[in-house]
Amino acid sequence: MKKIIGTLGSHCSLQVLKGAKDEGFETLLITQKKRYHVYKRFGFIDHVMLVDNFRDILEPDIQNRLNELACILIPHGTLISSLSPDEIESIKVPVFGNKLILRWEADRNLKQELMLESKLQIPKTIKSKREISDLCIVKLHGAAGGKGYFLTSDQKGFEEGFSKLVKDKIVTNENQLYIQEYVRGVPVFLHFFYSPISKDIEFMGVDRRYESDIDGISRIPSKHQFNVSIEPTYNVIGNMPLVLRESLLEGVYEMGENFVQASERLVPPGIPGPFCLEGVYTKDAMFITFEFSARIVAGTNLYVSGSQYSDYLFKNGMSMGRRIALEIKKAINKGKLGAVLT
Ligand code: AMP
């Protein structure tokens, strides 16, 4: 039976389904009723399944319907923020990539273990608020998209930030926070694709994020900054394109290759498909990785017609969404679909 490519209607669904259509697949969007008026405009979406809530994908009825349609589900950030790792693993519809590694993205301790196994340089973790002695970034556990993060250079600042989060009913306990060394430099997001069919790693693009309100603070003259208390937030609003100095590419490929090999050792079958290494280039052009995403990231939405890097690798404008569909097509043709699904 012909496979259909499906995904949740949010995050990067337009790019994923447009790419699938360009590779000759039928497409399916699972989305909330309130978002339908946006998605109905796009001709490359063949089937729409309307739900009240993204969590409805856990309903056996919905999963049966997806399986009847021979749907392959493409995971992205909305699946991860809507469901727990246990829930994702319980899904009985074939998922593109390794759904087991999504747990390693969601859990800070597992995440750190995989980054260390990948020989990535990572920011120092500060174990207790009493050990804060330099600028730190305090984060919430889980994929919060930068919401609720705050900076501090001492214990008092940590306690003030924590009280504010309690008042705003975001946390109840200090253990819900995670303190990390603040890395000075420029944040950069590196997009990779690993093909278990060709055994090749492809560097597909790079972006920077546009975060509110940290990226707007420089628009406020310093005399006003001093007069009002400004606590920056890191809520992602969009993404901006970037190219790297060509001499950085050697290190980029090395990090990507190490990450693929470490994933295969720690979380078999590894990382078939897209992933992103997220970090800061310091003033010495060292890349310090503060996060990874073990699936497609929304920053790839920039390159729906291909990126400066994918253009070196592919004749047709190759978005990450299209690259996923191409891998599924190649796997089907070689009778190796099992190598790209879990
Ligand atoms: P995250 O949700 O972990 O991707 O982080 C949100 C934003 O916080 C990033 O885009 C960076 O701007 C910033 N950030 C996160 N961790 C660090 C760090 N250790 N040092 C400096 N900036 C960071």
Q: How do residues 171-195 score in pLDDT, each as one tens digit?
A: 899 988 999 999 999 999 999 999 9
| Edge-to-edge strand ranges of the sheet holding 125-126 | 125-126, 177-181, 136-140, 150-152
Which residue from 298, 274, 309, 325 is spatially nearest to 204, judged by alpha carbons? 309
Closest residue by CA, ligand 1 atom 2: 146
CA–CA distance, 111 with 263 (Å, rounded to integer): 11
- Name which of 135, 103, 74 is nearest 321 in CA terms: 74
Residue 146 has pLDDT above 90, yes or no: no
CA 22–ligand 1 middle distance (angstroms): 34
**CB of residue 257 inside a 6 A radius of ligand 1:** no
| Mode of pairing for the β-strands spanning 136-140 and 177-181 | antiparallel
Q: 39 alpha carbon to ligand 1 midpoint, in Å?
A: 31
List, by residue range, all CATH 3.30.1490.20 domains of the chain: 125-181
Q: Is 48 in the pocket of ligand 1 (CB under 6 A)?
A: no
Start-end of CATH 3.40.50.20 domains in the chain: 4-95
Mean pLDDT on 28-56: 96
CATH topology of domain 125-181: Dna Ligase; domain 1 (3.30.1490)
Which pLDDT band, with edges at 50, 70 and 90, does 267 fall under?
A: very high
Split at pLDDT 50, 70, 90, the class of 144 is low
Helix (H, G, I), strand (E, B) or coil at 338: helix
Fold of 106-120+185-228+235-339: D-amino Acid Aminotransferase; Chain A, domain 1 (3.30.470)
Q: What is the pLDDT of residue 143?
A: 46
Supply the CATH classification number for the domain 4-95: 3.40.50.20
Question: What is the pTM (predicted TM-score) of this model?
Answer: 0.94
Mean pLDDT of 195-203: 97
Q: What is the pLDDT of residue 142?
A: 61
